[in-house]
Structure formats: C-alpha cells, structure tokens
Amino acid sequence: MYIRPAESIVGDPQQGKQASGKNRWRVMLQAADIGLENSRKSRVASAIIELLYFYKTGEGRPQEIVTKMRFVVETYCTYTYPSFFDSDDSLASIIEKIRTAGEQHPACELLDELDAIHAFSRGHYRGPYIDCTASVPLDLDELTDFVRRTLRIVGAIPSLS
C-alpha cells in the first residue's frame, strides 16, 4: 500500500501550490472520513466475530452481546441503505422509517425481524441513556436465537429457509 506524503494530499505538487482555506479543510475532512469509516468497519467486524463466538459457544456477557447485536444490525441497515438512513440512526428510528415508507422501502422485508430484535433488546442494551443495573436477566436461549437472527440479517451465517 502506498501512502502519499502529507504535502501531496493537501496541495497540488505539480502546480507547486498548497491547498488553502476551504479546500484544505475539505481534504482533511475527507481523510478523517476514511479513517472513521475504516474504524467503524473494524468495530463491526469485531462485533460480528464476538456474536459468532457467542452463538457457537454461549460465552460472553449477555448485555454486551445485546449491545453488539443492535450495533451490528443498525450499521448494516445504514450501510446497506445509505440513502434511506442516516449513519447515526438508532434501531428504533430505522424501524420507524421503514414503517413510514411501507412496502416501497427496500428494507421492508426486514421490518418484522428488526421489530422483534428491537422489542427483545430494548431493555437490555448498553445505550447512552440506559441504566443496565435495572434490567431484567436475559434468557440465554432466547438471546442465542436473537443473535442467530441478527447474524442472518447481516449475512454472517446462511439462511436455511
């Protein structure tokens, strides 16, 4: 992999000019986007591996598994249907957008599964405003089934329909 020196990224070396003002910031923001996207892809890959490991072995902290499950399915929806969802949409807002658009939404076939995952995980995930100490204990068999459903949605395991 070849990485260009910083001056060739922010300037035009053939014309001997440095990018300035608005153009310099645009280039820097584009570089930051690439870093953030790669970081997010790594987090998603790591979360999928942890979900697969839990699915196969049953090992893992249930509340963390629920959080990873939601993160993976939210990210899958926002990356698969970028013109329909914002990158920071929650599972609830994704479901609402699909429900509002109805059958015309390309993710309409996922609505029942997403709704079920949301209903199951709503009280158990470690969201930014959730107090996990107050949550009800999770049924591990039910959690394993929802992990399987999540992994099928994102294509990490085959669907044997």
CA dist., res. 161 & res. 155, Å (int): 13
Report yes or no on whether pTM surpasses 0.85.
no
Q: Is residue 134 part of a domain?
A: yes
Which domain covers residue 98, as residue numbers?
Answer: 20-153
- Arithmetic mean of pLDDT, 39-66: 91
Residue 36 lies in a domain: yes
- At residue 6 the predicted structure's pLDDT band, cuts being 50, 70 and 90, is very low
pLDDT at 56: 93
What integer pLDDT is reported at residue 158 of this predicted model? 79
Inside any domain, residue 88: yes
Q: How many domains does the chain have?
A: 1
Give residue-wise pLDDT tens across range 75-129: 999 999 999 999 889 999 999 999 999 999 999 999 999 999 999 998 776 554 4
Would 8 be classed as within a structural domain? no
What does the alpha-carbon distance between residue 16 and residue 37 come to, in Å, rounded to a whole number?
31
Stronger pLDDT, 77 or 11, i.e. the higher one: 77
Query: Is 105 within a domain?
Result: yes
3-state SS, one letter per residue, for 19-88: CCHHHHHHHHHHHHHHHHHHHHHHHHHHHHHHHHHHHHHCCCCHHHHHHHHHHHHHHHHHHHCCCCCCCC
User: In angstroms, what is the C-alpha Rg of the chain?
Assistant: 20
